[in-house]
Amino acid sequence: MNNSALNRRQLLKGMSASLGLLALRGFDVQAAAPFYFTHGVASGDPLADRVILWTRLIPGSGQHSTIHCQWQVAKDREFKQIVSAGDTSTSAQRDYTVKIDAAGLSPNRQYFYRFLADGVASPVGITRTLPVGDIDQIRLGVCSCSNYPQGYFNVYRHMAETDLDLVLHLGDYIYEYAEGVYANAVATDKLGRHVEPSNEILSIEDYRMRYGLYRSDEDLQLVHARHPFICVWDDHELANDSWKDGAENHSADEGDFQARMRIARQAYHEWMPIRTSSMGDQGAIFRSFKLGNLADLIMLDTRLHGRDRPLDYAKDLPMQSALFQLSDSGEASLVSQEDAAQVVAKIPSEQLKRIVTPFDFTSGTPIPVNDYATIKDLTAETLPQGWYYLPDSQSFKQEALVEPGRTILGADQEQWLDSQLQASKQRGAIWQIVGQQVLMGKLRLPMLTSEQLKIDQAEPEIRYILEMMQLLAPDQLPFNLDAWDGYAVCRDRVLTSFAEQATNPIVLAGDTHNAWAFNLADSKGQAVAVEIGTPAVNSPGLETYLPTDPDVLAQAIQNASVELFAVDTARRGWSEIILTADAMTNQWHFISTVLDRNYSVESSEIHYCKAGDKRFS
């Protein structure tokens, strides 16, 4: 046995006893050293004179301690022209992450940076400050939804190899699920992309381990080292379908939800190159950046800060029902819809009873069954064969969908957005880029046949969902209630703010894993903004859930959604957005595979929006 192998074994043994193997966070120790930079470097939240720099290092002794290190920013890769430098420290209290705000920089300039600890140097990173004054253009890379057990991060590698001024990450940077949940069997079994820890992440140690796993990925390290990031979280950095007081993927037996959110925010603060307070708990994440006179970048939190509970068809969609008036003898008479309001106003409530109406489909045509004695004790489980309950789509559209108090932002953030748009317009910025998580465009359920949906091949649970989708599609109900479609009145206020306060708004979204381009219109049908939804880094999209030919599905969704300008329903990739004084262009770059390191790239046509048009042409 050689000395290096012995040293490594001794090191690992020491860490197991004290510092803990978990502190390695996926880093592979090769030989004994005084310190280890375990997860590369990153930069983020650039301003004109400063930028956040990030790294992580652990003591080589395997003993917990406070580590002191230096950081340097230079004009050149050899660090002969250092323009900013300083000392800092880290410890187990912040998971050995280092994050400093490097000031004293010049606007619109590329810089090199590194960290040093006792003669050990980190990798060298490249970053860039934001511009001031007039500039010709700015080039943005936009991405979201990277799921380690779904495959490789080839999208990140392609972004790293592209000349960009800034990367915007719109959330789902990590996923919280346990091993085998929402995973690709090829990625886990053949590529070895297993999650750590293997359980669903709940504790601070769990969240830290999961970030460490993702940040051990060579492609993610590369894109961080090449470009500065501006990030917001979506739900999976927290828990699936989260809102201000809960989440779909959080149950009572998993502890207090707010305590879990504080833990998740703390880990996010530690591991992401984002400018935050020194409290160690990433609080309100909405913030803004000036991109010279060309644009303002306004980053929102549509996930946690002020969001009310998302609507859910399974919970909130009412079934069609009938009102009966009961007599003293126990007989019941049906009250017509025309007379219902008048009857309710005059008759005591104890003499009225509303019952869900079953429909008899045995003749091929749905016939309502309104015999009180027959239906009063029925449930979904005891319906006769061929009888079904049908949704009351009209009531849902006229009540739940347009409830005025529902918000996705919270009143304070909504007011802040309005003030940011107003300030941007007053200072003469040409574009207002609104970076946030979920689609704002109106997306309706597509009309698809059973053959197109391959319903006969679907599992029973999936078949029910597909059949319900077919049932709701003719009523033009929203495709995704978790998006702005589930907060229609709040969206109307924001679109009014776009029309009144902004010059050329551009909305950015992630979350859906597919690529979208919308022409956003207000309640009067007037063009107010465009929206780009970026495809996922590697999380699966609609092709997984709707096994319809992608071209057929895309056309059906466009036919149902008048605001939808372009869509891709089947491929992973990212969005490249170029802004000039005259126009904004968007181009999607799609990778051929996430299950092989060898991949090709196919780019979409360029989507063009001329300044002043507020729509794609």
Q: Which domain holds residue 354?
A: 319-390
253 assigned to some structural domain:
no
Domain boundary pick from 345, 372, 390:
390
Model confidence pLDDT, tens digit, residues 5-56: 445 555 555 555 567 777 889 888 877 888 999 999 999 999 999 999 999 9
Co-location of 424 and 568 in the same domain: yes
Which of 111, 129, 147 is the C-terminal boundary of a domain? 129
User: Is the distance from CB of 434 to CB of 508 less than 8 angstroms?
Assistant: yes
Residues 431 and 341 in one domain: no
**pLDDT per residue as tens digits for the range 85-128:** 999 999 999 999 999 999 999 999 999 999 999 989 999 999 99
- 264-270, Cβ contacts within 8 angstroms, sequence gap of 24 or more: 264/207, 264/237, 264/238, 264/239, 265/238, 266/204, 266/207, 267/95, 267/204, 267/207, 267/208, 267/211, 268/207, 268/233, 268/237, 270/94, 270/95, 270/97, 270/99, 270/208, 270/211
Judge if 488 and 357 occupy the same domain.
no
Residues 528 and 385 in one domain: no
Statement to judge: residues 383 and 409 lie in one domain: no
Say which amino acid occupies 555.
Q
Q: How far apart are CA 518 and CA 497, in angstroms?
A: 18
- Residues 6, 117, single domain; the answer is yes
Question: Where do we find the tokens 């092709």?
Answer: 543
Q: Is residue 382 in some structural domain? A: yes
Domain end among 110, 129, 148? 129
- Residues 6 or more apart whose CB falls under 8 angstroms from that of 403 comprise 489
342 and 437 within one domain: no
Q: Are residues 34 and 4 in the same domain?
A: yes
What are the φ and ψ backbone dihedral angles of 87, each rounded to 5 degrees? -115, 150
Question: Which residue in 578, 440, 573 sits closest to 514, CA to CA?
Answer: 573
- The arithmetic mean of pLDDT across residues 463-468, rounded, is 84
CA 177 distance to own-chain centroid: 15
Say if 75 falls within a structural domain: yes
Model pLDDT for residues 196-236, shown as the tens digit of each residue: 999 999 999 999 999 999 999 999 999 999 999 999 999 99
Helix (H, G, I), strand (E, B) or coil at 569: coil
Domain CATH code at residue 90: 2.60.40.380
Q: Are residues 453 and 372 in the same domain?
A: no
Write the CATH number for 405: 3.60.21.70
Report the distance separating Cα 276 and Cα 45, nearest Å.
10
Please check whether residue 300 lies inside any domain of the structure: no
Tally the domains of the chain: 3
Residues 372 and 414 in one domain: no
Q: Measured between alpha carbons, how far is 462 from 67 in angstroms, rounded to an integer?
A: 53
- Are 188 and 453 in contact, with CB atoms under 8 Å apart? no
Confidence band of 3 (pLDDT split at 50, 70, 90): very low
Structural domain contains residue 494: yes
Q: Decide if 530 is inside a domain.
A: yes
Q: How far is Cα 158 from Cα 241, in angstroms, rounded to an integer?
A: 29
Whether residue 70 sits in one domain with residue 17: yes
Q: Residue ranges of the alpha helices (H) in 505-549?
A: 542-545
Phi then psi dihedrals of residue 257, to 5 deg = -65, -45
264 — phi, psi (to 5°)? -60, -40
Domain shared by 406 and 526, yes or no: yes
Of the listed ranges 20-29, 264-273, 362-371, the one predicted with least confidence: 20-29
Tokens, residue 506: 């551009």
Closest CA to 577 of 434, 443, 442: 434
Position 460 confidence tier, pLDDT thresholds 50, 70, 90: confident
Reading the block at residue 142, the tokens are 């936009």
Edge to edge, the sheet with strand 358-360 lists 367-368, 358-360, 387-389
